[in-house]
A and B are shown apart, each in its own frame.
Chain A
Amino acid sequence: MSRAGLFRTLSLTALAAFVLLPFLQAVELSFTITRGAEGAPAGTFGLHNYANILGTPALRDSIINSVIYVLLNVIFCLVAGLPAAYGLARYTFVGDRHFLFFLLAFRVTPPVVLSLPIFILFARAGLVNTPVGIALVHCVFNLPIAIWILESFITAIPRSFDEMAFIDGHSRTGFFLKFLIPALAPGIAVAAFFCFIFSWVEVVLARTLTVTGGKPITQAITSLFSFQTDWGLVMAMTVFSLIPGVLMIFLVRNHIARGFVVRT
């Protein structure tokens, strides 16, 4: 092996270790009983922590809550984002640049800035403690992303594709459902991936909007921290929270980079 090759191998191994070490520790802890109980002394290995999650309704429900609002958010973003992306890909109109500028600005606005008025507004609308509320509020940062991604995929389809369908007598709606959406399947998958991930990992707004019920998985983990934290249980829950994301990475591993081509 050349000297450059050796240097590269060593660097990449060190990098992989740096990235994976916290996960190794988490998985190891999740299988370790950190708070001893009868028949299961501290320090032994086993599935005790995972059994604990499934046996605790609050923890189990939090996983279901998260899955529901994340899926709802993906649907909202696709349904509202698809027409917008189509309009931006095919037409120029007065104010299109400003529209894109505000999408970008709201995408990067920190949730802490919006948390206070969003709580007041959503409380008045009866959307606190519901998955619909969180799914809606996550559109602040996910809808712009969905639009950018879908727009870049639609632009790649020539306009003659649309015109052929119209000449054949299809309405705009028929064209969307029968032609555009099937042709756009990879773009929709990438957009859904990013919306899913960003909604799944968001903490501040999801916490603000769940006061008494409907707690997401991230809140369930936070509530496990106490003066004497049961690290095994915390890490088992964290490992649970990683499963969807890791699965998603595996599924879209060849397309991830497309998502960040942003136009303003």
Chain B
Amino acid sequence: MKLQSNMAWLFMLPTALVMAFVAVVPMVTVFNYSFHDIFRLDQLFWVGTEWYETIVSSPRFWASLGRSAAFSSLVLMIQLPLGIGIALMLRRAKPGTANLMLMCLAIPLVVPTNMVAGLWLALLRPEGLGGQALTALNLTLDYKFTAVHTWILILIVDTWHWLGLVVVLAFAGLSSISPAYYQAAAIDSASRLAVFRWIELPQIAGALWIVLLLRLVDSFMIYTEVMTINAGGPRDATTFLSLQLGEEIKAYSYGSAAARAMVNFLFVLTLVWVFVKLRQSRDSLGDKAT
């Protein structure tokens, strides 16, 4: 049992101070800027909600929102089932093999984000290993000018980068299942599908909810990889939400960039809030059941 004491806020003080400086003050600053027209930082002109109106009425914004939503959906549909499938497969492999595979899968996670795409571009150069393999198979990957190919490449690169996270966490959840559950299932002659649905899935759900949130938000706000591969092209086909924001920051349009940053922050906040609420309601349901 935990003690109830509001003095515990004293323990939060160092963290609260650091977060105030690096997160809260910047966020409030952005919020303030988003209502101003700014030529130089010492000349602010109040424009009210004008920037927000411009964003909401711009077809380009809605198009990039749609693209980001589509990209996130694809990422989740590919990476979660694939990661869980691999984790299930590793559970049946020899422990040594499983451990080695987990370490391999973790390596892409420690690649600096600007080189994630860089490694793949090096591989796909005409004289690179991947480029030669494609030529030998008589395939082309025209990621500079064909939108579908750019999307495929970004999805491959993102999956390569993050698959390890899903696998490692799903595997950890599966490892914590006591053998007694499997024995009970065997006595009931439960099908493979039933074992997954009623024994394995509930065990990995706890670890997976944070993967789901991280993958959802990170893919929704993907920036560096897409920038490296084709800078949002061809013809805006991979201009996602944060790339539009990046464009405005580079163009020094502080006011409208701030409004766009607020809009993006609002998306993130909403997603986190929905997640926390869903999890709390699920937990309280669980409490009632026991």
Contacts and interface: CB of A to CB of B under 8 A. Distances in A.
Interface of A: 8, 11-12, 15-16, 18-26, 28-29, 76, 79-81, 83-84, 86-96, 99, 101-106, 108-110, 112-118, 120-121, 136-137, 139-140, 143, 147, 197, 200-204, 217-218, 221-222, 231, 234-235, 238, 241-242, 244-246, 248-250, 253, 256-258, 260-262, 264
Contacts of A143: 15, 18-19
A117 B276 CA distance: 28
A214 B280 CA distance: 44
B141 interface: no
A249 B110 contact: yes
Given A83-B14, A117-B26, 8 more contacts: A11-B89, A21-B130, A92-B2, A93-B9, A105-B268, A197-B109, A245-B107, A264-B280
A20 B108 CA distance: 9
A19 B15 contact: no
A118 B58 CA distance: 27
B3 A87 contact: no
Given A21-B123, A84-B14, A117-B33, A139 B221 contact: no
A105 B7 CA distance: 24
8 contacts: A11-B89, A91-B2, A101-B276, A108-B218, A118-B22, A204-B224, A241-B115, A256-B172
A92 B8 CA distance: 8
Contacts of B55: none
Contacts of B273: 101
Nearest to A243: B110
A115 B249 contact: yes
A11 B2 CA distance: 47
A234 B86 CA distance: 32
B101 A12 contact: yes
B21 interface: yes
A8 B93 CA distance: 8
Interface stretch (B43-51, B147-155, B180-188, B256-264): B256-264
A222 B110 CA distance: 17
Interface of B: 2-19, 21-23, 25-27, 29-30, 33, 41, 86, 89-90, 92-93, 97, 99, 101-115, 118-120, 122-123, 125, 128-130, 160, 163-164, 168-169, 171-172, 206-207, 210-211, 213-214, 217-218, 221, 223-224, 242, 245-246, 249, 254, 257-258, 261, 264-265, 268-269, 271-273, 276, 279-280
Given A19-B105, A25-B119, A87-B11, A257 B19 contact: no
Given A200-B112, A264-B276, A140 B119 contact: no
A94 B264 CA distance: 29
Contact of A91 (B3, B110, B217, B258): B3
B131 to A, nearest CB: 10
Contacts of B4: 91-93
Contacts of B111: 201, 238, 241-242, 245
A22 B3 contact: no
Given A87-B12, A242-B110, A249-B103, A117 B130 contact: no
A121 B246 CA distance: 19
A120 B258 CA distance: 13
A105 B27 CA distance: 12
B287 to A, nearest CB: 15
Given A108-B214, A110-B223, A218-B115, A253 B102 contact: yes
Nearest to A231: B122
A24 B217 CA distance: 30
A139 B19 contact: yes
Contacts of B89: 8, 11-12
Contacts of B86: 15
A231 B125 contact: yes
